[in-house]
Amino acid sequence: MAQSVKALFDLSERKAVVVGGGSGLGQAGALALAEFGAHVVVGDFNMAAAEETVRQITAAGGTGQACELDVTSTDAVTAAAAEHSDAEVLVITPGYNARKRLLNTTDEDFDKVIDVNLKGTYRLMRAFGATMAGRGKGSIITFASFRALVVEPGQGIYAAAKAGVVQLTKTMATELGTAGVRVNALLPGAFETPLTRQIKDDPQWWSAYEQKSPLKRWGQPHELAGAIVFLACDASSFVTGSSMLVDGGWMANDGRFEPKV
């Protein structure tokens, strides 16, 4: 008898660790995973923000717990992986961007962007990947960006870091596949989050992003939640090493002109 497709989305009895779950896309993912039955550990550098996400989870009837976590600390990441060694899902959302043209950047800019986006992802994948491989199952969801594929002036270091996340994701997928661990990257497009506040504060910049997308608008965090749930659950059991765009069609459209044909 074929397995129920609906049942494939059930995350009951599973623990999901959502890093960066205190706000933005991470918070949306944490709420969605809890709605599908997962016990969600909300990890965030901002403990108050993590606790607020847990409050929303429990208010909706789910279960969760907050965890203060700094992705730039190897010791903190290692300790979190040990404490939550039974986690079957890991979602890695933290991001940091220094929007400057390369000639105006500093070594400090480079180091921080790489440490949070690329090395932070590496630390988490390494630590949780080991525990998942030891248990023979797991799903790791990294957050890259459409900027891993296409850039604009001022996004160079961030784009390089996110391109690195894509390659780390593919590598770990190939290395842990036989251990029962799937690893996939989400590539969000233009979403309205705290990370894009700088763009929102510039009406011309904000509007240009709206007009580039075929949908002619920015994405909202909840519109990424379904992709997170899909990659976390058994509905995606044959999906690994993928880079999934959730970009409102940005990469499908060159955005120059709409001819009257």
The residues assigned a catalytic role are: 158
CA distance 255 to 209: 10
Angle between helices 222-232 and 24-35 (to 10 degrees): 50
Phi, psi of 254, rounded to the nearest 5 degrees: -75, -15
CA distance 191 to 161: 18
- Beta carbons of 94 and 19 less than 8 angstroms apart: yes
- Beta carbons of 123 and 166 less than 8 angstroms apart: no
State the residue for tokens 């770990």: 172
The DSSP bridge partners found for residue 221 are none
State the residue for tokens 């039974």: 86
**Residue 35, both tokens:** 């709605």
CA distance 195 to 8: 33
The DSSP bridge partners found for residue 139 are 89, 182
Question: How many Cα atoms sit within 13 Å of 149 on the Cβ side?
Answer: 16
